[in-house]
Amino acid sequence: MSDLLTERIVVTSALMLGCVIVGIVVDQLLYRALNSRFAKAGSIPGVTLAQALHGLPTAVGILVALQFAVTRHMLVGRASPFAENAVKVLAIVIITAFAARILGRVVRAYTEREGTRLPSSSIFVNLARGVVWVLGATAVLAALGISIAPLITALGVGGLAVGLALQPTLENVFSGVQVLASRQIEPGHFIRLETGEEGVVGDVTWRNTTIQRPSGELVIVPNSVIGRSLVTNFSMGAPDYGMAIPVSVSYGADLALVERLALQVAREVIAEVDGAVRQSEPVVRFVDLTPPTVTFSTIIRVRSYAERIPARSEFVRRLERRLSEAGIEAPPVAGAAASK
């Protein structure tokens, strides 16, 4: 009897080891074949699917090996029912994990395509994965013989308390989905909040939106704040941005000369500075006359709001020199005038 048990253990162990090895070999061969084929064809969704499936054959091999251990009675007595349930739960977890992984990558690949109706953002990926894991958890409870009806009843009774506790989180989730679904803000857009924070939107997660300032710092803003705030989106609307640069000169200056110099400098900046719209024509408009100050604005078109800084800096530097050479002075400072 002991020899028969030993032989069964040896055979079962060999079968288990064989299943694991076969799973690993199939995993590597399948991944290399699919990845190479889709990469040569230039199919990004295909490469994404190959990467998502990588590891599944190995997991299946391990699962089959464990099933051999249970069915061939390597585990006997009270441990056998526990082992059977454990294998069922493990199978559901593996299926759920790979389903969430595949669905998440498919959603990300879909949202990153050009012309898609949904913007690329991790919030949709996380929501898709969350739905799969909820379904997987329900399947685990069913496999263990646990009725979910009492659990649903308990959640219904405590739903108000849970809802109040999770209100900030849920508000952030719904605000993020609403903003992205309306396509008012997307990753890559340059925006400015009413608080003055501005930069490029990096990502919209289930809780917050990340904005990278032009200087490089990362600003993390809750989605609920984005939903309630007045947001200026410089990446939507006109394909370029008309930058108005205000300048003040002293009252009594030759305004015709001032306008001519400003236009000359603006045309030079448009022709020489990166970011300016080459074929555009600058405009000078006098906007205020309050002695001892005359204020005017020069409008220069740049490719985007984010590219305005080099053109603005070069215009101010060159115009100051031209006005100084022409003898046109800046208006006196009120404090300095009072002290004389």
Q: In what order do the strands lie in the sheet with 293-302?
A: 241-250, 293-302, 283-290
200: three-class secondary structure by DSSP? strand
- pLDDT at res. 118: 53
Cα 131 → chain centroid:
20
- pLDDT at res. 154: 60
Produce one character per residue of 222-261: b if its CB has 16 or more CB atoms within 10 Å, e if not.
bbbbbbeeebeebbeeeebbebebebebeeebeeeebeeb
Separation CA 176–CA 226 (nearest Å): 8
Ramachandran assignment for 282, one of left (phi > 0), alpha (psi -120 to 50 degrees), beta (any other): beta
Average pLDDT, 10 consecutive residues per value, the chain (340 residues) = 63 78 86 83 76 83 79 56 78 87 78 57 77 85 75 58 61 77 80 86 84 86 84 79 90 90 94 89 91 91 85 92 88 48
Domain covering 241-332, topology: Alpha-Beta Plaits (3.30.70)
- pLDDT at res. 161: 55
Asked if residues 232 and 197 have their Cβ atoms less than 8 Å apart, the reply is: no
- pLDDT at res. 84: 74
Domain covering 174-233, topology: SH3 type barrels. (2.30.30)
CA-atom Rg of the chain in angstroms: 33
Asked if residues 251 and 294 have their Cβ atoms less than 8 Å apart, the reply is: yes
- DSSP conformational letter for 185: S
Omega of the bond leading into 292 within 30 degrees of 0 (cis): yes
- pLDDT at res. 260: 93
For residue 328, which amino acid is it?
I
Q: Where are the beta strands (DSSP E) in the chain?
A: 190-193, 198-204, 208-212, 218-222, 231-233, 241-250, 283-290, 293-302
Separation CA 171–CA 161 (nearest Å): 15
- pLDDT at res. 315: 93
Long-range contacts at 107-114 (CB < 8 A, ≥ 24 apart): 108/48, 109/44, 109/45, 109/48
- pLDDT at res. 159: 55
